[in-house]
Amino acid sequence: MPIRASERARYPKNWAEVTAAIRARAGNCCEWCGRPNGVTVVVRPDGSWLTVSSWISENGCCETEPGAKHVRTVLTVAHLDHTPENCDPANLAALCQRCHNRYDAPTRAKGRKERMQRTAALPLGEP
């Protein structure tokens, strides 16, 4: 996931090295669903997926079923406790964008709600 500019200082200076180590530990695949990093997969409407070559082998062609999409997998590194300062390997997981987004969704929703409440509490005309 992209790091917000306002949060950048919370990450260690060697974040690129940390993430490379976590991706290597995971075999460059999502630790939760197994999607391989950098590979285009066919994602079915139910969320299941196949590599494009597996899809062709299974279906005999490259046409996808209605609602299926070709998606390039991007492997990210998630802080399981949502604390960027905690870079203990046990707190980090290599996740595809789908798994990472699903995992972070409740925390992001809470943050949006808190930001909206702070903004609503400001007198008119203040940032």
- Residue 122 pLDDT greater than 70, yes or no: no
Q: Look at the alpha carbons of 18, 24, 25, 28 in this order and tell me if their dihedral is positive or negative.
A: positive
| Residues shown for the chain | 127
Percentage above 70 pLDDT, the chain: 83
**Which residues are paired to 40 by β-bridges?**
72
3-state DSSP call for residue 36?
Answer: strand
CA distance 127 to 2: 24
Number of C-alpha atoms within 13 angstroms, CB side, residue 69?
A: 6
Mean per-residue pLDDT for 100-104? 91
CA distance 71 to 80: 24
Task: Give pTM, 2 decimals.
Answer: 0.74
Answer whether 77's CB lies under 8 Å from 21's CB: no
pLDDT digits (tens, 9 = 90+) for 12-59: 999 999 999 999 999 999 999 998 999 888 888 888 888 776 666 566
